[in-house]
Amino acid sequence: MKLRTIVLAATMLAGTASVGTAVAQQKKEVPAYKVLDLPKVDLKKFKKNKQGAYIIFDGTSMTGWRGYNKTLVPKKWTVDEGAIKFDSKANVGNDEGGDLIFAHDFKNFELELEWKVAKGANSGIFFLAKEIEGQPIYISSPECQVLDNENHPDAKMGVDGNRKSTSLYDMIPAKPQNGKPFGEWNKVKIVVNNGQVEHWQNGVKVVTYTLWDQSWIDLLQKSKFSETKWPLAYELLKNVGGKTKSGVIGFQDHGDDVWFKNITVKKL
């Protein structure tokens, strides 16, 4: 009788362990992470235009800009004929690349800029981003896609065109899709106001969504940033902007030539 009891107990424990393992596999633990506190700039030192927006790039100076998780501007980011350019061919070493940010935390704002890409190029615009040690910028930030729709394979991936230009990357497609071809300037406006977000492309509102509510959680769960696919990204993105609901604006180094100009931010 004692032997039978021991065997039965062992079987029950093994079964419990199997169930526990299955649950752990379904819900992965969020890895530990560290939010860096790197130098920021005083926005009041920047001029405003007639519309009351801060000019955060004047066509000549990279003042206020630096690399994501860095203290200096990586040398692959240069000023080229009045625009910030990522120069993929710059012979300065791989460690001189990386994403670029404007070092100020914005909360409610209108960001306006123009961008163009080389043939087959890919990049992105980020906002409300935090600097997470050892992680890419997109792990904590929505991405407004920058893309050559006709020549980059990402345009045909995702769902319903949600990786084409000015889409909320991998979540909501920009409709109508009115992006201009490579070599031509696209004008983009991103509005963030108490969680209500709009993407505008070439004068047309093409994407709307709401941060932090159930609809946002649902979008994340259907994307590459879901709780099961990428637990840390899910944890950071469901709480975009952290406790302050604010963060930096940034541009992506995707290894391709891309230009940004006429960059302004109006606080709301």
What tens digit of pLDDT does each residue of 98-130 get?
999 999 999 999 999 999 999 999 999 999 999
**Residue range of the domain that includes 19:** 1-30
Looking at the structure, tell me whether residues 127 and 236 fall in a common domain: yes
pLDDT computed for residue 21 by the predictor: 40
Looking at the structure, tell me whether residues 198 and 180 fall in a common domain: yes
pTM for this structure? 0.89
Q: How many CB atoms lie within 10 A of CB 256?
A: 20
Looking at the structure, tell me whether residues 64 and 1 fall in a common domain: no
pLDDT computed for residue 4 by the predictor: 42
Looking at the structure, tell me whether residues 93 and 62 fall in a common domain: yes
Give every residue of the chain whose pLDDT is below 50, as ranges.
Answer: 1-25
pLDDT computed for residue 35 by the predictor: 97
Looking at the structure, tell me whether residues 175 and 92 fall in a common domain: yes
Q: Which two tokens stand for residue 237?
A: 């993105």
Looking at the structure, tell me whether residues 17 and 44 fall in a common domain: no
Average pLDDT over the chain reads 92
User: What separation, in Å, do the N-terminal and C-terminal C-alpha atoms of the chain show?
Assistant: 76
Number of domains into which the chain is organized: 2
Looking at the structure, tell me whether residues 24 and 61 fall in a common domain: no
pLDDT computed for residue 260 by the predictor: 98
| Cα 29–chain centre separation | 22
Looking at the structure, tell me whether residues 4 and 136 fall in a common domain: no
pLDDT computed for residue 26 by the predictor: 56
Q: Which two tokens stand for residue 255?
A: 């290894």
